[in-house]
Amino acid sequence: MQTKENIQNIAPYQPGVLKAGAIKLASNENPLGASPLALAAVKANLDKLQLYPDGGCVRLKDALAEYYGLTPEYFLPGNGSDEIFHFITAAFIRPAERVLTAEVTFSEYTFAAKLFAGAVDYAPLQDGKYQLAEILKKITPQTRVIFLANPNNPTGTYFSATELESFLKEVSGDTMVVIDEAYAEYAAAADYPDSLRLLKTFKNLLVTRTFSKIYGLAGLRVGYVIANPEVIAYLNKTREPFNVNTLAQTAAAAALNDGDFVRRSRENNAAGKKYLYAEFDKLGLKYYPTEANFIFVYIGQDCAAAFQKLLERGVTVRPMRSFGIRDAIRVTIGTPEQNQKFSAALKEIL
């Protein structure tokens, strides 16, 4: 067979490790489970499995429109945000055109670029934080898409509304700026951007969000992009007709109304964050302040070895070696019991 170099060069994604009986703090899932309203919606639609999904995601787009106070034409759902990133590179990247992102960030931006034979430039972080000024410096005439995670995965840091707006003013309208807000619902900082407010000013702005995190629906696969209707209509051309399954559509629409579950998830996360910060402080470990549901912490030893030792003690976390960092792990903020178990295991291995 005749293979393509850009595909041969794709390195496989490294998913979080599952181990029977171990608590999983490796994939930033919601430790409280799935939204109860979403689960009820799934149960109410089990008689429709033999039918194709609504190819237009009409009810979900209507629900999103109502939730955000926009019209349905601003939304496009995907089979997880991962698929949305492919829509974007399919739509905007020709072979050898460039994607720009940060050095330590979500790996799927690079994958989406490579799938369409794009090249990727990386700007350095500082103290785990995106440096938007550094990103501006890396823009070339061939840069068609910029991916920015806010909060960033795996560091949990964020950039502010002021930083974002200043950045957008410097970027040409021919370069699309994608803000991946997978963890936005956890962000508590007062100056975290209300990025949707900027859509009308910046026609090249795209915001992605997901039901995999705070809504607890990672297993069903549904994310979405919010952008101006002309961008959405164009992206829609790259979409398979039935890309979001029936149960995902109905669960997601119901989850948007589950304010109680979102509130409880935020409260659990805030309490867990405070607890883990205190534990890390006691242990003298450096960590980055997080606006997400996970913490990036330096552990002063090889993370692959630490991962194994924690696994032996019944806890899975994410070693940061795949991000090029030798001595840090990323741990999902769990339930109080999970956090205590993780903390106890961590003390043992240090």
Phi–psi pair at 297, nearest 5 degrees: -135, 135
Contact 66, 58 (CB under 8 A): no
Closer by beta carbon to a copy of itself, 2 or else 126 = 2
40 vs 70 by CB, closer to a copy of itself: 40
Minimal distance, residue 241 CB to a copy of itself, in Å: 4
Beta bridge partners of 177: 146, 205
**Considering beta carbons, is residue 54 or 134 the nearer one to a copy of itself?**
54
Minimal distance, residue 289 CB to a copy of itself, in Å: 25
H/E element holding 143? Answer: strand 143-149
Q: How far is the CB of 180 from a copy of itself (least distance, A)?
A: 15
Phi-psi region of 32 (alpha: psi -120 to 50; beta: other; left: phi over 0): alpha
- The first and second tokens of residue 258, run together, are 């589950």
Q: Which is nearer to a copy of itself, 116 or 280 (CB)?
A: 116
What does residue 186 show for φ and ψ, rounded to 5 degrees? Answer: -90, -20
The least distance separating a copy of itself from the CB of residue 16, rounded to whole angstroms, comes to: 7
DSSP secondary structure string, 173-210?
Answer: TTSEEEEE-TTGGG---TT---GGGGTTT-TTEEEEEE
The residue among 71 and 236 lying less far from a copy of itself, judged by its C-beta, is 236
Amino acid 347 reads K
Judged on CB neighbours under 10 Å (0-12, 13-18, 19+), 289 is: middle
Residue 89 CA, chain-centre distance (Å), reads: 17
Residue 257 CB, shortest distance to a copy of itself, in Å, is 17
Taking the complex as a whole, the smallest distance from the CB of residue 89 to a copy of itself amounts, in Å, to: 10
* Cβ closest to a copy of itself, residue 97 vs residue 291: 97
Give the span between the Cα atoms of 178 and 259, in whole angstroms.
26
> 169 or 190, CB closer to a copy of itself?
169
Alpha helices in 93-228 (DSSP H): 108-115, 132-137, 161-170
Evaluate whether 76 touches 239 at the Cβ level (below 8 Å).
yes
> What does R_g of the chain's alpha carbons equal in angstroms?
20
- Residue 320 beta carbon to a copy of itself: minimum distance, rounded to whole angstroms: 18
- Pick the closer one to a copy of itself by CB: 197 or 203: 203
Rounded CA-CA distance 39/36 in Å is 5
Residue among 186, 208, 190 nearest 199 (CA): 208
Least Å distance, CB 138 to a copy of itself, is: 19
- Using the minimum distance from each CB to a copy of itself, give the nearer residue, 14 or 71: 14
Q: How far is the CB of 326 from a copy of itself (least distance, A)?
A: 23
User: H/E element holding 88?
Assistant: helix 81-92
